[in-house]
Every structure is written in structure tokens, then in C-alpha cells.
């Protein structure tokens, strides 16, 4: 079946919506091949459509998780979830955003179920759905706002120890602030990130360490640690 690059002429006219073909997606991902094969390397697609690029990146990451941890259901589960946490997208049209979340979940769930078999569980599946709700957002990457006019806020997920994830929420507009070169140690509202060797804005909120299988419950029942900005 031929790839569908256009859903309708009206969508092309109204939104300029044309999906990138698989061949071009793979070729472009090959340009950053080393990063697509790092489990924790983060990717943001500012006009993600229904997920062509993000699905390719996640597929490559899951292949690496399989290669490294396929013999251990517990490790495969944990690191496949970590791979999902590294995928971010913004999409203007709600149906595309929903389709992208569903597509990424189905991609992950197929690999997870096949590898973990009887160890696969719905708690983990629920957490992955929750992560995708936070990471794939309906909004406008040009104005850096969501469809309801509020700022785009992304959760950063970091595996700290064992099965515990650290969640910190950042406003996208602050992450794209170009003042980082002028920021120095002690500047209010900024912090040093050793991973990228640069200063980044401080998070809006931080959450206590949480088992990656309990992320939704942690947000519903816990209190975030508010950070002064």
C-alpha cells in the first residue's frame, strides 16, 4: 500500500499538512544515527503530525533496548519505558496528536508484549500512556502555547536509581530562551546541566522520586515540589 502523505486537500490548503515519506524520514534520522541509538537521548519534533519521525526514532531506540536487555524482562521493561520518556512532540491538529500518541504506544506495546510475555503488565502500560499524554501535546510550536492558550509545559523524566524516575516540568519558552550564554553560576532562575554542559532555566515543578509504574498515581496523589523562579 502506498504511503499516505495527504489526508485531504482541505487540510493541505488550511494547514499545509503533508506528511514526510518513510524514505525521507529514515534518511534524515540517519543523519543523527548516533543519537537515535542512545536510549536516553531526547528528541522534540515541533510539528510531529501523526508521528512519522518520532515512530522511527522510537523504533531505533527499542531495537537497542532489545539488543542490550532482551534477555531480562525486568530490564527490558524499565529501559523501554525510558526510551518512551525521551520522545517529545508538538502538533497543531488534535486528531494528529491523538493518533501520534496511539501510534507510539502501539509501537512500544508490541515490542514490550513480545519481549516480556507473561511479565508484561497493565501498570506499566498505564504509565507509558501517561508519559505520552505529557510528552505529545496539541499546540503551536511557533507561539509556544497549547490549543487552550496556556504555555507548553513538558515533563523531563530521568532514571535516578533502580526503578525510580525523577520528573521535572519545564515551560518550553524558557527552554528556548537564548540567554544561556550570558548566564553565570548563581543567576536566579537558572541552573547548570552537566549533561549538556550549559545553563538551563530552573524547573517550574519537581516531583518526588517515583517508581516508573506509578507515575499517574503519583501526580494524582502526591504534591509537586514547587521551585521559586
100-128 per-position pLDDT tens digit: 999 999 999 999 999 998 999 999 999 99
159: exposed, middle or buried (C-beta count within 10 Å: 0-12, 13-18, 19+)?
A: middle
Task: Check pLDDT > 50 for residue 156.
Answer: yes
Mean pLDDT over the full length of the chain: 86
Contacts of 85 (CB under 8 A, 6+ apart): 131, 135, 157, 165
Mean pLDDT over 183-202 rounds to 71
194: exposed, middle or buried (C-beta count within 10 Å: 0-12, 13-18, 19+)?
A: exposed
**Quick one: pLDDT at residue 223?**
74
Instruction: Determine which helix (DSSP H) or strand (DSSP E) holds 225, and give its type and residue range.
Output: strand 225-226
Which residues face 170 on adjacent strands? 154
| Helix-, strand-, coil-residue percentages of the chain, each rounded to 5 | 45, 20, 30
Determine the Cα–Cα distance for residues 157 and 142; give it in Å rounded to an integer.
Answer: 24
Task: Check pLDDT > 70 for residue 6.
Answer: no
Q: pLDDT band at residue 1, thresholds of 50, 70 and 90?
A: very low
Q: Please answer whether residues 89 and 82 qualify as being in contact, where contact means their C-beta atoms are separated by less than 8 angstroms.
A: no
pLDDT tens string 12-32: 454 555 556 778 878 888 898
Backbone angles phi, psi at 85, to 5 degrees: -65, -20
Task: Check pLDDT > 90 for residue 86.
Answer: yes
Task: Check pLDDT > 80 for residue 184.
Answer: no
In the numeric block, the cell 518512551 is attached to 84
pLDDT tens string 48-66: 989 999 999 999 999 999 9
Q: pLDDT band at residue 72, thresholds of 50, 70 and 90?
A: very high
Determine the Cα–Cα distance for residues 98 and 100; give it in Å rounded to an integer.
Answer: 5
Closest Cα to residue 170, out of 206, 224, 131, 208? 206
Q: Please answer whether residues 175 and 155 qualify as being in contact, where contact means their C-beta atoms are separated by less than 8 angstroms.
A: no
Q: What is the pTM of this model?
A: 0.84
Q: Please answer whether residues 88 and 139 qualify as being in contact, where contact means their C-beta atoms are separated by less than 8 angstroms.
A: no
Amino acid at each position: 500500500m502506498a504511503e499516505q502523505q495527504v489526508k485531504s486537500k482541505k487540510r493541505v490548503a488550511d494547514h499545509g499538512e503533508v506528511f514526510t515519506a518513510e524514505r525521507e524520514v529514515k534518511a534524515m534520522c540517519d543523519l543523527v544515527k548516533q543519537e537515535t541509538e542512545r536510549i536516553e537521548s531526547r528528541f522534540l519534533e515541533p510539528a510531529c503530525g501523526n508521528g512519522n519521525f518520532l515512530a522511527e526514532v522510537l523504533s531505533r531506540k527499542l531495537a537497542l533496548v532489545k539488543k542490550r536487555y532482551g534477555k531480562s524482562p525486568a530490564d527490558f521493561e524499565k529501559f523501554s519505558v525510558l526510551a518512551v520518556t525521551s520522545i517529545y512532540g508538538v502538533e497543531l491538529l488534535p486528531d494528529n496528536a491523538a493518533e501520534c500518541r496511539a501510534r507510539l504506544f502501539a509501537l512500544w506495546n508490541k515490542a514490550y508484549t513480545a519481549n516480556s510475555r507473561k511479565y508484561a503488565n497493565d501498570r506499566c502500560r498505564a504509565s507509558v500512556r501517561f508519559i505520552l499524554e505529557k510528552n505529545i501535546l496539541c499546540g503551536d510550536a511557533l507561539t509556544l502555547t497549547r490549543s487552550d492558550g496556556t504555555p507548553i509545559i513538558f515533563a523531563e523524566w530521568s532514571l535516578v536509581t533502580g526503578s525510580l524516575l525523577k520528573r521535572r516540568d519545564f515551560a518550553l519558552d524558557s527552554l528556548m530562551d537564548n540567554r544561556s550564554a550570558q548566564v553565570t553560576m548563581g543567576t536566579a532562575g537558572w541552573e547548570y546541566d552537566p549533561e549538556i554542559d550549559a545553563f538551563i532555566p530552573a524547573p517550574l515543578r519537581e516531583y518526588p522520586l517515583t517508581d516508573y509504574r506509578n507515575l499517574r498515581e503519583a501526580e494524582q496523589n502526591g504534591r509537586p515540589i514547587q521551585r521559586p523562579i
